[in-house]
Every structure is written in C-alpha cells, then in structure tokens.
Amino acid sequence: MVNITASIGNENFRTEIKGSNTIIADEPKEKGGQNLGLNPGELLAASLASCSLITMKMYAQRKNWDLQHAFVEISYDHDEKEHTANMIKHITLTGTLDEEQRSRLKYIAGVCPVHRLLEKSIHIESFLTDAV
C-alpha cells in the first residue's frame, strides 16, 4: 500500500505532500494561492501522464524497441454539478517504431495502473484523527 501524507499551514493553500519524495501543491494566484506547485487537478492529470510514460518506456525497454522519446499531454475537464470528469490523452512517440509497435505502446499507456484505476470506481474512506 502507498502511504502519502499532506499538510497545510498558514501559507494559504500551499500544501506539502510527502511520500518517498516531497512536492508542493497550491492554487493559482487568482484563486488565492501563491502558484507554488501544481493544483490538485493538475496533479491528477500528471499522475496519469507520468504513469503512461513510465509504463510505455518500461515495455519498450523489455521489447528492445527504439523508443527515443515519448510525450503525453492530458486535457482534463470536470463538471462539478454532475460529478463527472473527462480526460483526453495525446501521445507522441519518436524513434524507429513501426505502426504495430506504436499501436501497442498506445495500448500499453491505456493499461498503466493509474489509467486503469481512474477508469474504475475508487472507494475512499475518510476518518478524523486527533492531533498529537
């Protein structure tokens, strides 16, 4: 199981997120933040993009394919009233790859762990704990 901690203090919306590394999330200035990091929606899209890229790269390496560079752009929109979201993933691949390899890498990007998780239901339980 992955364990992530996040904390927010007096710096408005600046949130420190810790796992095996530390990153900062924030809101843009027009929403009262300081724009010190990606906002939560951007972090979600970044998780999908990075998982897609890493999974494609690992697969290409195992197959000894000439994937020289891969680029993923995620467009993300959500409807707060309907509680729905839409993500569009554009993948650009460079290297000596035939159409079958390119098609397979697109498929592999679609079965990365984050992609599969986002397409399915996610059960979230929330608990209040006392401060120490």
* CATH number for the domain harbouring residue 50: 3.30.300.20
Q: What is the bridge-based pairing of β-strands 22-25 and 15-18? A: antiparallel
Provide the domain limits for residue 4: 1-37
Strand partners, 49: none
Q: What is the pTM of this model?
A: 0.89
Looking at residue 106, its pLDDT comes to: 98
Mean pLDDT of all residues in 90-99: 97
Mean pLDDT of all residues in 93-101: 98
Q: Is residue 125 part of a domain?
A: no
Q: Report the SS3 class of residue 41.
A: helix
What the block records as the tokens of 78 is: 């959500």
Whether residue 80 sits in one domain with residue 103:
yes
Per-residue pLDDT of 50-63, as tens digits, reads 999 999 999 999 99
Q: Is residue 132 part of a domain?
A: no
| Domain tally, the chain | 2
